[in-house]
């Protein structure tokens, strides 16, 4: 996408030509006012923050643009009784939950659900794996007086909002569970909810608005189920184990119909009970709202994600075709709820994978993300790194309007030079396609440099209705607060992982607003060198006639209007 170039002409008064001539003064005032009017007119309707949002109009982009009016972002809260001003959190953030890699889901009533990876190294000043990973040997703690913990409970975070994201709390049975690891071991055997030791999870909602929250213990998974917008816990009174025996790094969950659950596990190796099949990702299927699950169906390929229709029968998996530096992105489709996949190796109702676009690089943990609606639309988006980890990145999109039978794909790269990391896609029932990503524009502040210290990451989003090949999303900054600044260490080491592996978005049931759960880095981490404190935020955008955003109230305000010296004016024109 070609960037808009602004030519600036500096106009300064010529003192030798100044006189008391009133007509000259009037003419000079008229010219100054006219120039200022022209300049401000060019800026009206665009959100300008530190020159990061381009001065452009919807007419300059192919496709039917959809814009949002963004609310002030919210930080996810901690329980009051677990707040500790001496636990290493930066001043002003002690009431906020520390975590990263948030998952976000929504039900048909607009209730929102967020989980996030816990910061395991912030379970106390020491850790139980010190001989292997360094540090002092100690147990981990949750909400324990005298310990510098950031954990309120032993499960991963689970927040809910019943007012469209305006306020946030914790789901039922997710009360604080103070104590050390011994308390968690006992709680996992005798309790449920927040007592079940977890690391990271994913959330899905079926057609009956039953919420399925899977929280991995790495060795296996726990299930937590809710109704009533997260306010009623319907899982058993003892932690409900998935019983798949699959070592899992990152779980992905989709749900549809009446209790049909799709679980895509990133085992990295064949589970021991599945020696007749091989693969990195394994698909598990249930139609009873939980165990038992089918087992041992491998989906060979690289990084993968899953989505499904809520009422219809289609299920989709997008994945790299292999764990390789280049290749293709492919999509697997089941038109029959993913049935017939176990036990034992069997494709069941999964069709042969279809290549939907190229991969010319190998972005760090860049998942291709798939999403769909009930009307047959399926969209996949992925980052590509043909110039290496710290060179300019690309972003691609593939769209199908017939449940994955036919596809078109094109390059949707938002910057001439920059990075669009972890793009995530959501779709409304009337085919509004929103894409959000963590973005670093190499050209910010007119810089000609690349991935260097001081460059700022931001949250970007854009939306199109009925996108067609070569349409362009008019991506804009959503939150005026930088999510992270590149450090000297990251520049030297080529480290682009500060914002971790992903974040997620949703569109409202009526299709009139968008929600994003994402990560912001703040201050130094008390226990990890070259790491920061990580906080989970949520922002809502209501569909509007133009892009607009609010400054965060606890951050330094940034003027949207450029200020000039009294003796200078800037005349800007497009070329």
Say yes or no: 41 and 98 in one domain: no
Say yes or no: 353 and 285 in one domain: yes
DSSP code string of 213-251:
EEEE-SSSEEEEEEEGGGTEE-S-SS-EE-------SSE
Q: Per residue in 483-524, pLDDT tens?
A: 999 999 999 999 999 999 999 999 999 999 999 999 999 999
In a domain, 12, yes or no: yes
Say yes or no: 346 and 243 in one domain: yes
Say yes or no: 491 and 427 in one domain: yes
Whether the CB-CB separation of 153 and 195 falls below 8 Å is answered with: yes
C-alpha to C-alpha distances, 258 to 292, 298, 341, 431, nearest whole angstrom: 15, 25, 19, 25
Say yes or no: 38 and 81 in one domain: no
Residue 38, φ and ψ in degrees, nearest 5:
-60, -45
Question: How many domains does the chain contain in total?
Answer: 2
Q: Per residue in 316-327, pLDDT tens?
A: 999 999 989 999
Q: Per residue in 241-289, pLDDT tens?
A: 988 766 677 889 999 999 999 999 887 667 766 767 777 888 999 999 9
Q: Which of 129-138, 408-417, 441-450 has the lowest mean pLDDT?
A: 129-138
In a domain, 55, yes or no: no
User: Which residues form the domain of 31?
Assistant: 1-47+560-575
Query: For position 245, what pLDDT does the model report?
Result: 65
In a domain, 326, yes or no: yes
Say yes or no: 42 and 79 in one domain: no
Confidence (pTM): 0.86
In a domain, 53, yes or no: no
In a domain, 280, yes or no: yes
Say yes or no: 349 and 447 in one domain: yes
Say yes or no: 465 and 564 in one domain: no
Say yes or no: 74 and 182 in one domain: yes
In a domain, 574, yes or no: yes
Say yes or no: 143 and 182 in one domain: yes
3-state percent helix, strand, coil for the chain, nearest multiple of 5 = 10, 35, 50
Say yes or no: 223 and 328 in one domain: yes
Report the CATH number that the domain containing residue 169 is assigned in CATH.
2.120.10.10
Whether the CB-CB separation of 278 and 270 falls below 8 Å is answered with: yes
In a domain, 54, yes or no: no
Torsion, Cα of 304, 309, 313, 315 (10° steps)? 0
Query: For position 256, what pLDDT does the model report?
Result: 98
In a domain, 52, yes or no: no
Q: Per residue in 160-181, pLDDT tens?
A: 999 999 999 999 999 999 999 9
Say yes or no: 2 and 150 in one domain: no
């Amino acid at each position: 996408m070609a960037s808009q170039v602004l030519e600036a002409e500096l106009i300064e008064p010529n003192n030798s030509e100044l006189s008391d001539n009133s007509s000259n003064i009037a003419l000079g005032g008229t010219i100054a006012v006219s120039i200022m009017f022209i300049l401000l007119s060019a800026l009206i309707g665009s959100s300008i923050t530190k020159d990061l949002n381009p001065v452009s109009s919807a007419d300059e982009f192919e496709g039917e643009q959809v814009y949002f009016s963004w609310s002030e972002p919210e930080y996810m809260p901690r329980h009051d009784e677990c707040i500790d001003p001496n636990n290493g959190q930066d001043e002003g953030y002690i009431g906020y939950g520390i975590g990263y890699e948030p998952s976000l889901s929504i039900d048909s009533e607009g209730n929102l659900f967020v989980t996030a990876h816990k910061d395991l190294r912030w379970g106390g000043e020491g850790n139980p794996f010190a001989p292997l990973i360094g540090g002092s040997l100690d147990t981990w703690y949750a909400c324990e007086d005298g310990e510098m913990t950031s954990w309120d409970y032993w499960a991963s975070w689970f927040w809910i909002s019943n007012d469209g994201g305006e306020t946030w709390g914790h789901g039922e049975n997710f009360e604080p569970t103070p104590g050390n690891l011994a308390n968690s071991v006992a709680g996992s055997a005798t309790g449920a909810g927040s007592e079940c030791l977890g690391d990271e999870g994913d959330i899905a909602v079926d057609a009956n608005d039953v919420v399925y929250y899977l929280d991995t213990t790495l060795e296996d998974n726990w299930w937590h189920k809710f109704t009533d917008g997260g306010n009623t816990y319907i899982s058993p009174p003892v932690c409900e184990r998935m019983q798949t025996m699959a070592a899992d790094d990152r779980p992905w969950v989709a749900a549809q119909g009446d209790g049909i659950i799709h679980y895509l596990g990133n085992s990295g190796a064949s589970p021991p009970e599945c020696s007749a099949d091989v693969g990195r990702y394994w698909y598990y299927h249930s139609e009873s709202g939980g165990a038992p699950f089918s087992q041992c169906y491998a989906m060979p390929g690289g990084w993968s994600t899953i989505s499904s229709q809520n009422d219809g029968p289609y299920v989709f998996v997008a994945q790299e075709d292999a764990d390789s530096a280049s290749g293709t992105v492919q999509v697997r489709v089941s038109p029959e709820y993913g049935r017939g996949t176990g036990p034992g190796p069997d494709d069941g109702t999964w069709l042969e994978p279809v290549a939907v676009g190229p991969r010319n690089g190998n972005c760090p943990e860049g998942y291709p993300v798939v999403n769909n609606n009930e009307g047959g639309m399926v969209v996949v988006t992925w980052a590509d790194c043909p110039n290496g980890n710290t060179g300019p990145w690309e972003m691609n999109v593939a769209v199908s309007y017939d449940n994955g039978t036919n596809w078109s794909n094109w390059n949707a790269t938002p910057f001439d030079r920059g990075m669009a990391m972890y793009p995530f896609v959501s779709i409304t029932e009337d085919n509004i396609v929103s894409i959000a990503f963590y973005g670093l524009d190499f050209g910010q502040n007119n810089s000609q440099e690349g991935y260097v210290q001081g460059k700022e990451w931001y949250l970007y989003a854009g939306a199109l209705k009925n996108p067609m090949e070569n349409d362009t999303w008019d991506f804009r900054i959503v939150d005026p607060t930088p999510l992270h600044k590149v450090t000297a260490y990251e520049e030297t080491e080529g480290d682009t992982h500060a914002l971790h592996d992903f974040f997620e978005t949703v569109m409202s049931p009526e299709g009139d607003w968008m929600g994003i759960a994402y990560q912001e880095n703040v201050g130094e981490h008390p226990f990890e060198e070259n790491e920061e404190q990580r906080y989970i935020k949520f922002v809502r955008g209501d569909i509007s006639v133009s892009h607009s955003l609010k400054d965060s109230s606890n951050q330094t305000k940034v003027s949207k209007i450029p200020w000039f010296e009294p003796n200078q004016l800037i005349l800007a024109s497009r070329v």
